[in-house]
A = this chain, B = another copy of it.
Amino acid sequence: MSGFRHVVMFKWADGTTTGQQEEVAARLAELPGLIPEIREYVMGADAGVSPGAYDFVVVADFADRDAFRVYRDHPAHRTVADELIAPITAERAVVQHER
């Protein structure tokens, strides 16, 4: 499948509650319904198999780079990213690549 993939991982800050993590997941899960540029959107909380893992990952697929930028800058995404995710993020790792 050609396209453009965005992968982002988060390590939550100490004191982050399960409720905050669940709200992030719930609000992100709404985005495919709000942002048609999203082709596929798979996320998950770490299963605890590997020591030192990050806490959460999103793998999002788009038709191309421009579609990804629409997602990145979309108000619905920005709200979740800036108001829910940023305040509880200790570390963030991201890669975007062509497929």
Q: How many copies of this protein are present in the complex?
A: 2
Q: A47-B65, A65-B47, A68-B49 are in contact. Are A95 and B5 (CB under 8 A)?
A: no
Q: Are B4 and A7 in contact (CB under 8 A)?
A: no
> Which of B5, B45, B50, B57 makes the CB contact (< 8 A) with A42?
B5
Interface of chain A: mostly helix, strand, loop or mixed = strand
* Contact indicator per residue, chain A 17-40, by CB within 8 Å of chain B (1) or not (0): 000000000000000000000000
* Contact indicator per residue, chain A 52-92, by CB within 8 Å of chain B (1) or not (0): 11111101000001001100000000000000000000010
A69 to B47, CA, bound (A): 13
Q: A49-B68, A68-B49 are in contact. Are A95 and B4 (CB under 8 A)?
A: no
